[in-house]
Amino acid sequence: MDRVVPQAVPLGQMEVFQALQRLHMTVFSQSVSPCGKFLAAGNNYGQIAIFSLSAALSSEAKEESKKPVVTFQAHDGPVYSMVSTDRQLVSAGDGEVKAWLWAEILKKGSKELWRCQPPYRTSLEVPEINSLLLVPKENSLILAGGDCQLHTMDLETGAFTRALRGHTDYIHCLALRERSPEVLSGGEDGAVRLWDLRTAKEVQTIEVYKHEVRPCPSPILLALPQLLCIRNSLLPPSRSAPGPTTGAGSDAWQPTQTGWDPCLSGQVCGGGPALTLWHLRSSTPTTIFPMRAPQKHVTFYQDLILSAGQGPCVNQWQLSGELKAQVPGSSPGLLSLSLNQQPAAPECKVLTAAGNSCRVDVFTNLGYRAFSLSF
Amino acid sequence: MSSESSKKRKPKVIRSDGAPAEGKRNRSDTEQEGKYYSEEAEVDLRDPGRDYELYKYTCQELQRLMAEIQDLKSRGGKDMAVEIEERRIQSCVHFMTLKKLNRLAHIRLKKGRDQTHEAKQKVDAYHLQLQNLLYEVMHLQKEITKCLEFKSKHEEIDLVSLEEFYKEAPPVISKPEVTMGDPHQQTLARLDWELEQRKRLAEKYRESLSNKEKILKEIEVKKEYLSSLQPRLNSIMQASLPVQEYLFMPFDQAHKQYETARHLPPPLYVLFVQATAYGQACDKTLSVAIEGSVDEAKALFKPPEDSQDDESDSDAEEEQTTKRRRPTLGVQLDDKRKEMLKRHPLSVMLDLKCKDDSVLHLTFYYLMNLNIMTVKAKVTTATELITPISAGDLLSPDSVLSCLYPGDHGKKTPNPANQYQFDKVGILTLRDYVLDLGHPYLWVQKLGGLHFPKEQPQHTVIADHSLSASHMETTMKLLKTRVQSRLALHKQFASLEHGIVPVTSDCQYLFPAKVVSRLVKWVTIAHEDYMELHFTKDIVEAGLAEDTNLYYMALIERGTAKLQAAVVLNPGYSSIPPVFQLCLNWKGEKTNNNDDNIRAMESEVNVCYKELCGARPGYQLLTNQLQRLCVLLDVYLETESHDDSVEGPKEFPQEKMCLRLFRGPSRMKPFKYNHPQGFFSHR
């Protein structure tokens, strides 16, 4: 293996500490600004960095333009999840949701707009918030994480309206079926649950591990299906023509006409549920993708499924389960993918991927990594 | 007429007798004078005019006679003959007269000649006289001009001005009534005044001389007195030595040192003075001494070598040698190298005593030709240390002071000019010689007041940039910290090699009481080996694996799980933390590349090291990190999901109290230990 030994620069105490910090940085979450020109990335030290995509993508981009425009300390713990409304950036980490005004941030003022904490029952440890989900119709925000519940919060009043209980372990991710106000959640307990927001009831449960088809004869696979990850595709390719099947029961999924493509993916150490495509109505796995490494983020893009997880690659799958391409990134493991689809900035239409490094890889097309933004 | 002719005849006859004597004129003349009348005298008596008349008459008579004869002859006849005869006789008389006249004319001519000659001689004499007189005139004229041109010496004398003269000179000398009108007298008077004055000044000069003599004598006497004082003072000093010792006042010793210090080269002198000053003012544990031969140093100064000359000379020599003496080139270069790297014979020793009685000996040298300072370090401890194998480099003179300031590894010469000098003699880098010469650390140059421009613009501000004095305190503190941290490490390594992680009582609260994982190996590894390890790539790429660092490999075991930890120990420990890279061998190989939890464990020891430093100044950091690593391994193994398909109990039953096993998107394990409650939570 060729190792590039960088020019030895004398490092002082602060520099060493900073280098170590960067070395052990994990970027958990990303969010694109409403204008489409900026990307926010949150790391495990609670910092949020704002990168200017338009500057980095412009023809006269320098090394400096790949550095954050602004970095500010948002949370004490890691920033696990971020979403953007049309004015605000909402970030969540250890048990607290904070909102920031995009306009303020870009003016380098990082004063929080508001903060609130879901009503937790335990006091010993503050549960983390792993996922945020905006429900535009209700103008509400759904939070889910360490306390095994989904909390809905009214964005107007800031009050927590509902708590959806059912998961037996912490929740990793959320996905929205917009047509009918239904939310999918995937948790550490190996189950995907479909919730009806109107009744605040659990509609359906798929215990994914029970359907596990082991891609390899690893003996522990069935025993502990720990993680399910549901991701709503960020891009609704057929938003204008939603398919009829989407309103049906959970786990039903029809590849050809999906308005909402909840894609299930599983991860378990040493095996676990493989990345699987489920049909919601019949609750059966349609395609099991032949990928052994655990995948942590999945998204739909046109007729492809993009997934990333352990390993430095962004995987592109055909719906039939064929691996179309593996595009290497710069991080040893990826945790989050973000597609910038904002119509306001068509020139900044890129895929960004972040994970176990201080770098955010930018893919201008799906074929290769153009460059990396760096904390 | 006839009588006349007869008279003339007689002398004529006589003369014809004496005719043969006519050639010898003078004698015959004188003889004749005696005997006969003097014709010369006759000449004086006769008038030349009448002679001329006579001559004319005679010639006419002759002509007439000749004509008569011719006439007679042409007529012929007997009677004629008598007449002819007669006439012939008459002619003869006439001829006689002519002869006489001729003689007289001759005599007259001779006389005239004599007279002319005489007159001429007279004229000549007069001419000569005239010439003599003319010459005399000329000579006299010359003398006159000479006299006119004569310059008197007094004109060169700078006389006082006229007014001054009349004002100052006494009237006896100046005599105004005489001199006012007569410039000659005036000048004389002025000269007199001048002479008078000069006489007075000469007198004064003589007086001053004698005065000076007197003072010199006085000085001589005083000097003698002083020189006699020195030995007495010395003996007093000698006698006071025991008192000084008794009172702890090493004046004498210090004095001696200062004396020696005078021979130090400037940088060492600056260091000596500053270190002594610092030692006296701030830090009693610092002692300064000078080592080496003073005589050699003195000898060095006697022939004041011009280094530039030297260089140019050596240049020329070098060229020559390359041309002529190729075989000896190597030897010559060697000599030149030695010459270039020559140290000043004097060196400054600093002894820095730490709290635990260990001493850091620093010897500072000055390389004369390179104009840099080097330092050699040695650490001695109060008690004999058992040297663990892995601690070999900790106190070695080569590395103990490495990177005292970030990046200052002391392997490169800080003087940019040296590179050119090296090129000349074929030294690639100073690195090969540092073991011999000592290390030319930057801080050493600063302590000596030497300042060199940096190669790269410095982007970090290190301490204070003003030299020596302001640098001294920081450096001394750093030195002390360095030695103490190295000694602490030294002790810790001894127990680490025996598999014991020493945790001091004040750090116990950082760890749970029961730690099952054990350190089984602690070895030092080479920099190259570290670079070759497959799980250290990130550190190498981040530029944290410099070759000035020390590298170790720790192995922590619990049951079948083996955790390898590659450790980078920065020379700046403990202000700069050691960096760990992990590789777990258990159910496959796990590194930060394929296991987020391994990554989390690394960050737990590397990033969150501040809580592990323990009591200031944090010498417990390394051992605490290792102990935490053991704890982390316990947590990692105990929280690992159990494989149901394997028979029998779990290999690592969960003994640690955890609130939750996993958390967050990357499914972190609870690595943080909460002290009084004793449970583990997520960070």
Residues B476 and B511 in one domain: no
Residues of chain B with Cβ-Cβ distance to A356 below 8 Å are: 592, 596, 599, 666
One domain for residues B528 and B654? yes
Give tens-digit pLDDT for B329-351.
667 778 888 888 888 888 888 88
Residues of B in contact with A16 (CB under 8 A): 544, 570, 576-577, 579
- Does residue B10 form part of some domain? no
Directed axis angle between helix B307-324 and helix B329-340, to 10°?
A: 170
Overall residue count recorded for chain B in this entry? 683
What's the confidence (pLDDT) of residue B646?
57
Average pLDDT, chain B: 80
Task: Note whether B390 and B356 are same-domain residues.
Answer: yes
Residue with tokens 């583990």: B680
Q: Specify whether B384 is located in the same domain as B404.
A: yes
DSSP one-letter string for B24-62: SHHHHHHHHHHHS--HHHHHHHS-HHHHHHHHHHHHHHH
CA distances from B327 to A42, A167, B1, B331, B423 (A): 70, 90, 144, 8, 20
Of B408, B659, B666, the CB nearest to A335: B666
Instruction: Tell me whether residues B666 and A26 touch, CB distance under 8 A.
Output: yes
Q: Residues B101, B202: one domain? A: no
B323 in a structural domain: no
- The whole-angstrom separation of Cα B409 and Cα A147 is 53
Q: Which among A12, A128, A219 has the least Cβ separation from residue B406?
A: A12
Residue B25 forms part of a structural domain: no
Name the B residues in 618-657 with CB < 8 Å from any A CB. 640-641, 643-646
Instruction: State the pLDDT at residue B184.
Output: 84
pLDDT of amino acid A41: 93
Nearest-neighbour CA in chain B from A220: distance (Å): 5
Beta bridge partners of A373: A360
Q: Verify whether the Cβ–Cβ distance A13 to B576 is below 8 Å.
A: yes
Distance from CA of B683 to the nearest CA of A (A): 8
| B124 and B218 both lie in a single domain | no
Mean confidence (pLDDT) of chain A: 74
Residue B608 domain-assigned (yes or no): yes
Q: Which of A22-26, B50-54, B427-431, B463-467 has the lowest mean pLDDT?
A: B463-467
Summarised one tens digit per residue, pLDDT across range B160-214 is: 888 888 888 888 877 878 778 888 888 888 888 888 999 999 999 999 999 999 9
Closest in A17, A28, A223 to B645, CB measured? A223
**Tokens matching residue B158:** 């700078």
- Which residues in chain A are closer than 8 Å to B575, comparing Cβ atoms? 13
The pLDDT confidence band at residue A364, using thresholds 50, 70 and 90, is confident
Q: Which amino acid is at A359?
A: R
Highest mean pLDDT among A238-242, B245-249, B640-644 belongs to B245-249
Chain B residues close to A11, C-beta within 8 Å: 406-407, 543-544, 576
Burial of B236 (0-12, 13-18, 19+ CB in 10 A): exposed
Mean pLDDT, residues B66-91 = 84
**Per-residue pLDDT tens digits for B629-657:** 999 999 998 887 665 555 566 778 888 88
Q: Which residues make Cβ contacts (< 8 Å) with residue B287, sequence separation at least 6?
A: B279, B350, B351, B353
pLDDT at A338 over 80: yes
- Pick A143 or A311 by higher pLDDT: A143
Looking at the structure, tell me whether residues B231 and B272 fall in a common domain: no
B528 and B382, same domain (yes or no): no
Contacts 24+ apart (CB under 8 A), B609-613: B609/B577, B611/B510, B612/B507, B612/B510, B613/B574
B289 and B412, same domain (yes or no):
yes
Number of domains in chain B: 4
Has the ipTM of the complex gone over 0.85?
A: no
Asked if the Cβ–Cβ distance from B593 to A332 is below 8 Å, we say yes
Residue B219 phi, psi (nearest 5): -60, -45
B531/A5 CB distance under 8 A: yes
Does residue B211 sit within a domain? yes
**Is A10 in Cβ contact with B407 (below 8 Å)?**
yes
If you count DSSP H runs as helices and E runs as strands, how many of each does chain B have, helices first? 22, 12
Do residues B270 and B393 share a domain? yes
Q: Which tokens hold the place of A33?
A: 């600004």
Strands (E), B340-457: 347-353, 359-367, 372-380
Does pLDDT of A261 surpass 60? Answer: no
pLDDT value at position B215?
97
Interchain pair A1, B579: CB under 8 A: no
Which of B543, B594, B603 minimises the CB distance to A9? B543
* Domain's final residue, options B147, B164, B183: B147
Q: Using the 3D structure, point to which of B226, B249, B272 is the last residue of a domain.
A: B249
Q: Is the pLDDT of residue B488 over 70?
A: yes
Given B116, B147, B178, the domain boundary residue is B147
Determine the structural domain holding residue B472 and report its residue range: 264-300+331-484
Model pLDDT, residue B116? 96
**Does the beta-carbon distance from B665 to A11 stay under 8 Å?**
no
Q: Which of B408, B572, B659 sits opposite A124 (nearest CB)?
A: B659
B285 and B244 housed in the same domain: no
User: Does B15 or B514 have the greater pLDDT score?
Assistant: B514
**pLDDT at position A226:** 28
Q: Do B641 and A23 touch (CB under 8 A)?
A: no
d(CA B642, nearest CA chain A) in Å: 8
What is the pLDDT, as a whole number, of residue B145? 94
B350 touches chain A (CB under 8 A): no
With contact defined as beta carbons under 8 Å apart, do A153 and A140 qualify?
yes
User: Which of A102-116, B301-315, B558-572, B656-670 shows the lowest mean pLDDT across its residues?
Assistant: B301-315
Within a domain: residue B257?
Answer: no
In a domain, B271, yes or no: yes
User: Touching check for B674 and chain A: CB below 8 Å?
Assistant: no
The 10 Å Cβ neighbour count of residue B268 is 24
Q: Is residue B20 part of a domain?
A: no
Residue B162 sits in the same domain as residue B143: no
How much is the pTM? 0.66
Cα dihedral B230/B235/B238/B243 (nearest 10) = -110
> CB-based contacts of B584: which residues, under 8 Å, 6+ apart?
B561, B562, B563, B564, B590, B591, B595, B598, B633, B636
Nearest to A128 among B592, B607, B663 (CB): B663
Reply yes or no on whether the pLDDT at A250 is more than 90: no
Q: Where are the alpha helices (DSSP H) in A202-268?
A: none
